[in-house]
């Protein structure tokens, strides 16, 4: 379309371009209409047409093309005009119907501008859709939208629209998850519900109990508990947990234990959350025997997710100075749980504090050698303190260099730090030389595999500096393990914000390296012009390590045990990959879906591929990724049929045959 317009540039004017754009919209070719509109904007004769922009934005929004709709929406505002109410409404719904990390924030931003900038009064269904989306996030994310939810409630009230019980229940739910609970506001909302004749549901009362547990309001908690019992003789287990927390808040752990036992009697079962809470309460109040007894009960129950309770138990023994009990708890933990960095750090601290440096050193090396555990600022500082206290200065310098390389903060006592400074001054020429960032050959291979798997590169305007942007699927068990390894592997390259995490659970699902010229080669090869591309020399770089990291980041195992690799790029690039794999005796099939190619290793070929990459797969991921096992839970790949033709390129039969060899 753009080529045709450029060929007629000499005689085409505003009216002609408008006619073409409107015609494209009439035949539902809205993408083509958008390209025509953007082409018109670049011409010297272009005059802004509010009606055309509004119509195109509405059509794109109805097709859920939120980014293109937003682009025209911003054009309208930049022209000093206020978009129509329909454009605001359609754009908000388009954002809510899309997936992405910031679509809800953008939808809220457009909603606020609709009210403040446009002076419009949104319709009831728009209020409800946005409010429902706010509550659809996990509690840890939703609680940040409290102000937005209150703003929607105020707009509903001022517009005289009917407020359903879901709005009241949702607001109270959001308030109950705040770090500092506003009990007066919750009381006002409950009073407003009563004045409107809306009965409090079981969910609302549970939310009130949650708020009371944070505020330590025993009287209100008991009143709410009585109401809950009158509605449901068997309250949810979470309600018992909140009662335990209320009594713990006022320093009565024995009453919390009574609530726990009553729950077991009344419900006939115990939830994982209840075990976590009662062990945490008893550990915090140094009820050693009771905490240990319930921990044994928890282990014998056969339930999973024991790690949080082991952490509470070990911290209790650490505070009490009972190293032998802490050590026996650690050994018991190793028998029933997967490795965890926080648990190992507590044990390492205890070994250093008791002067058992040889075992501390052994544990530290085990942590460094096991990618499922790794080391962080705390573990490095613990072993550094141990070396400095015992006079092992040569080893201390090595750990200090590791801390500097990983850009960890040094957190040891000032007296020990003075001693370390003295040792470093004797080795100034060696130690104090500035740490230079560099990619080892292994990291280059890792990065190549990740880029094939879908990692992005972000460049500045002049393409001189580039940053690597990692995104991990929060719903993927594989990615939740893998992101810890990548965060540690590239820690020294991360920005200061992404470095500052206290534990594995705090590692964000997306993080970005600093912008650096070192990544220019990868940007030119994998992301020229800001789009993913398969390099022409990719056949030289497909080492087993590259394939392994490609599989761990952008691959899947199907329900039949086959292995799939996902890649974006041109058909020619995929052909190069297939030829390189075939040269390594790795036979595969390929399928194109949209802009994505799926390379499939089927049957025995999957087994052979696994033998090649297994040495470089993380130990914790081998059971999840091993060829021939059960599905790793990827729903989007289950229906890929490698026996059918390409879903998007059937016309090019010659290329299709090349891809199917």
Check residue 499 and give its pLDDT. Answer: 56
| Burial (CB count within 10 angstroms: exposed 0-12, middle 13-18, buried 19+), residue 517 | exposed
pLDDT above 70: residue 658? no
Q: Taking the chain, what is the end-to-end CA distance rounded to the nearest angstrom?
A: 34
Q: Which long-range contacts (CB under 8 A, 24 or more apart) does 31-37 make?
A: 31/65, 31/68, 32/1, 33/59, 34/60, 34/65, 34/68, 34/72, 35/1, 35/2, 36/1, 36/5, 37/72
Compare 392 and 53 and report the one with higher pLDDT: 53
Which CATH code, of 1.20.1550, 1.25.40, 2.50.20, 3.90.25, is assigned to 342-431?
1.25.40
**Which residue pairs from 641-647 have beta carbons closer than 8 angstroms and sit at least 24 positions apart in sequence?**
641/591, 642/589, 642/590, 642/591, 642/600, 642/602, 644/591, 646/591, 646/592, 647/591, 647/592, 647/593, 647/594
Share of the chain above pLDDT 70, in %: 91
Whether the predicted pLDDT of 661 surpasses 50: no
Strands 596-601 and 589-593: antiparallel
Band (pLDDT 50/70/90 cuts) for residue 652 is very low
Quick one: pLDDT band at residue 79, thresholds 50, 70, 90?
A: very high
pLDDT over 70 (residue 659): no
Give CA–CA dist 120/117, Å, rounded. 8
pTM (global) more than 0.75: no
- Reference 96, options 120, 128, 51; nearest CA is 128
CATH code that applies to domain 441-660: 3.10.28.10
pLDDT per position as a tens digit, 278-289: 999 999 999 999
Nearest to 452 by CA among 582, 537, 566: 566
- pLDDT (0 to 100) of residue 190: 94
Q: What is the DSSP code (8-state) at residue 43?
A: S
Where are the domains positioned within the chain? 342-431, 441-660
Q: Identify the CA nearest to 136 among candidates 164, 174, 90.
A: 174
**Mean pLDDT calculated for residue range 101-122:** 91
Higher-scoring residue by pLDDT: 643, 315? 315
Confidence of residue 9 (pLDDT cuts 50, 70, 90): confident
Lowest-confidence range among 326-330, 468-472, 652-656? 652-656
The DSSP element (H or E) to which 576 belongs, if any, is helix 571-583
**Which residues contact residue 426 at a Cβ distance below 8 angstroms, ignoring those fewer than 6 apart?**
none
């Amino acid at each position: 379309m753009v080529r045709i317009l450029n060929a007629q540039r000499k005689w085409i004017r505003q009216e002609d371009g408008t006619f073409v754009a409107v015609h494209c919209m009439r035949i539902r070719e809205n993408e083509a209409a958008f390209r025509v509109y953007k082409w018109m904007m670049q011409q010297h004769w272009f005059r802004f047409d509010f009606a055309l922009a509004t119509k195109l934005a509405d059509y794109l929004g109805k097709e859920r093309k939120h980014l293109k709709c937003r682009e025209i929406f911003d054009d309208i505002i930049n022209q000093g005009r206020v978009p129509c109410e329909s454009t605001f409404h359609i754009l908000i719904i388009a954002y809510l119907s899309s997936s992405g990390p910031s679509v809800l924030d953008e939808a809220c931003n457009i909603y606020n501008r609709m009210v403040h900038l446009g002076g419009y009064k949104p319709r009831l269904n728009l209020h409800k859709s946005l409010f429902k989306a706010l509550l659809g996030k996990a509690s840890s994310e939703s609680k940040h939208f409290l102000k937005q939810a209150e703003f929607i409630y105020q707009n509903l009230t001022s517009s005289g629209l009917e407020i359903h019980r879901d709005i009241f229940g949702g607001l109270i739910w959001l308030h109950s998850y705040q770090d500092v609970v506003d009990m007066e506001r919750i009381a006002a909302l409950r009073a407003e519900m009563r004045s409107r004749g809306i009965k409090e549901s079981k969910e609302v009362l549970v939310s009130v109990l949650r708020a009371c547990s944070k505020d330590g309001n025993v009287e209100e908690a008991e009143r709410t508990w009585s109401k809950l019992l009158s509605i449901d003789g068997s309250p949810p287990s979470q309600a018992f947990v909140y009662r335990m927390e209320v009594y713990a808040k006022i320093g009565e752990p024995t009453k919390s234990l009574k609530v726990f036992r009553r729950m077991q009697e009344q419900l006939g079962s115990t939830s994982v959350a209840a075990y976590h809470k009662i062990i945490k309460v008893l550990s915090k109040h140094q009820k050693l025997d009771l905490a240990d007894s319930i921990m044994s009960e928890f282990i014998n129950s056969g339930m999973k997710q024991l790690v949080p309770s082991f952490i509470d138990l070990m911290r209790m023994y650490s505070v009490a100075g009972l190293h032998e009990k802490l050590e026996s708890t650690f050994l018991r933990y190793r028998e029933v749980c997967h490795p965890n960095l926080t648990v190992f750090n507590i044990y390492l601290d205890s070994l250093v504090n008791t002067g058992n440096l040889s075992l501390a050193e052994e544990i530290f090396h085990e942590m460094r050698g096991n990618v499922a555990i790794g080391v962080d600022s705390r573990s490095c500082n613990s072993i550094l303190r141990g070396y400095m206290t015992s006079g092992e200065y040569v080893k201390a310098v090595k750990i200090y260099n590791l801390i500097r390389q990983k850009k960890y903060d040094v957190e040891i006592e000032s007296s020990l730090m003075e001693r370390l400074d003295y040792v470093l001054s004797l080795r100034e020429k060696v130690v104090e030389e500035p740490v230079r960032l560099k990619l080892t050959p292994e990291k280059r291979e890792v990065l190549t595999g990740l880029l094939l798997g879908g990692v992005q590169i972000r460049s500045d305007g002049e393409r001189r500096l580039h940053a690597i942007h990692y995104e991990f699927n929060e719903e993927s068990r594989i990615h939740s393990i893998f992101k810890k390894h990548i965060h540690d592997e590239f820690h020294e390259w991360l920005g200061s914000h992404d470095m500052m995490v206290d534990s594995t659970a705090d590692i964000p699902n997306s993080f970005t390296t600093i912008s650096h010229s070192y990544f220019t080669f990868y940007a030119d090869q994998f992301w020229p012009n800001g789009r993913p591309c398969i390099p022409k020399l990719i056949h030289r770089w497909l080492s087993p390590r590259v394939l392994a990291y490609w599989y761990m980041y952008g691959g899947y195992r199907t329900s039949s045990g086959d292995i799939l690799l996902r890649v974006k790029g041109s058909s020619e690039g995929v052909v190069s990959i297939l030829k390189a794999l075939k040269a390594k005796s790795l036979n595969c099939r390929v399928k194109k879906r949209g802009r994505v190619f799926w390379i499939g290793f089927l049957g025995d070929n999957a087994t052979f591929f696994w033998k090649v990459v297994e040495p470089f797969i993380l130990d914790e991921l081998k059971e999840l990724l091993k060829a021939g096992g059960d599905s790793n839970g990827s729903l989007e790949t289950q229906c890929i049929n490698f026996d059918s033709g390409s879903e998007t390129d059937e016309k090019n039969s010659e290329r299709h045959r090349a891809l199917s060899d």
